[in-house]
Structure 1
Amino acid sequence: MTERNERTVLGVRHGAPAFEVPAGATDTHVHVFGPAEHFPFAADRSYTPGAAAVADLERLQALLRLDRVVLVQPSPYGTDNRCLLAALSELGARARAVAVVDPIASDEELQHLRAAGVRGVRLNLESAGQHDPAVALDGVRRLAARIAPLGWHLQTYTTLPVIAALEAELSTLPVPLVIDHFGRATAARGIEQPGFAALLALVGAGRAYVKLSAPCRISAASDYADVADIAQALIRANPDRMLWATDWPHTARRRNPNALLAAIEPFEPEDDGRALNRLNEWTAGDRDLMHRILVRNPARLYGF
């Protein structure tokens, strides 16, 4: 078997880490899909992904020398977390998860999710095309109230304008807040862009974690070079609130609104080994910083 094949997962080749990955390193944002005959997608989904099995994820983890992983409920499953729970069961103690739940979910359902390894809920505003701060605030408040007794965190995927509009409210939530994918900053606009100061303020005050993940969603530059300033500004603001993730298996960044749901949407060919090495570059190879971002911070948040 060739080296290329040995480092390939779902048809994408992943480079090797160019540094010593610390024990307990965690990928804090991945998705698992399928098999479709066992875990049907929601009828109102916006796309239909291909299969990305636990075995594929385990292979990626081995290639990147990672020990822990956090599964995040993807939007095509809606609030049906059965695929997520099956993957948690298969992965065992090395995994935690973030579910998507209805604010009126029963206490019994939430306790069942907690026992299985769920440690937070996700409010995915961006994938739903929801950019109204009032709607976002209503969802944040309702979910935060439900999950506070469980000791969970609230994870949200939204934009800088929404974050800036809700900065005061987000800074007083009764639960930890996790913001996906650099807060959807536009890398080409740099650290002075509107809304980024609000994100930095939340991070600096310890009121929000940010996932340094999916640079492909905020940059069109070669090797996402313009993301470095964004990432380093966030790290400087508060390294104890930084998380890292691959966003594997990389669902499409842009969708064709006329695409048929029967058509399987291919995954993006992102090199996750390069993504891990990019983090090492953003920290200038600082081993303490890398340990905090890859090990200590996720262990604190997800209870590893």
Structure 2
Amino acid sequence: MMNYRYSRHYTGPVQAVIFDWAGTVFDFGSFAPTQVLIDALAGFGIEISMAEARIPMGLAKWDHIRALGDMPQVAARWHARYGRPMSDRDVDAVYEAFMPLQVSKVGDYSQLISGALVTVAALRGKGIKIGSCTGYPGVVMQALTPIAAERGYAPDCIVATDDLKAGGRPGPWMVLENVIQLGVSDVAACVKVDDTVPGIDEGLAAGMWTVGLSVSGNEVGLSAEEWVALPTAEQARKRTAAEKKLYLAGAHYVVDTIADLLPVISDIEARIARGERP
């Protein structure tokens, strides 16, 4: 009896690039989610720093609040104020306070990152579909999507963190929903672009190529103006630290911003043509 083993490697072009939103396409420094979380917790008498708020970035917002409450220093502040650990019911209460703030303020922070529209147009010119997913829930995306469209960005697919029963990052479900909606024939033909570790985890879990963004996103955490004002040596230090974290998460590539993406896509296509897999 003969044994047959079928093997196949995708060797075609990149079919889809799936972008995160804050810190990737919009909101240089990713301030909309973090600052609003700081404001929401302040309403409960709990002060957290911007650095603390950034630690769980990339997760769904309820999970982000839960992760903050589980951090020892934040847990100690909550216990000091309320005499007990933060419960899931407390997380619900913070989340309910957070959501209207996020909806009302998301547009204020969501300016396009320099080079985003040029990059997206160039990708579309190559026949590549533009997907997207986010740690924002659907109600926030209902507010943000028309603002983004007015500013020139309208991806072919948008998946919010609460759109799927399976959940959000770091699992693969949102990017796999992009694969389904966009009609991509092979996950190896997809590139996930994100500024956070959970976003890189998401792409890897789905079997995709992953590109981390070091400067525009959560890991550096500065506005574009603050970044430009830094001395060159300090920029290098912050960039290196962010790159290291994203590479350690498994990113195949790390670049500064979305404006640096096109050469990476060309390199990925060359690797795919050689039979390489993510």
Q: TM-score, length-normalised on structure 1?
A: 0.29
Higher strand share: 1
Structure scoring higher RCO (CA < 8 A, sep ≥ 6) equals: 2
Higher helix share: 2
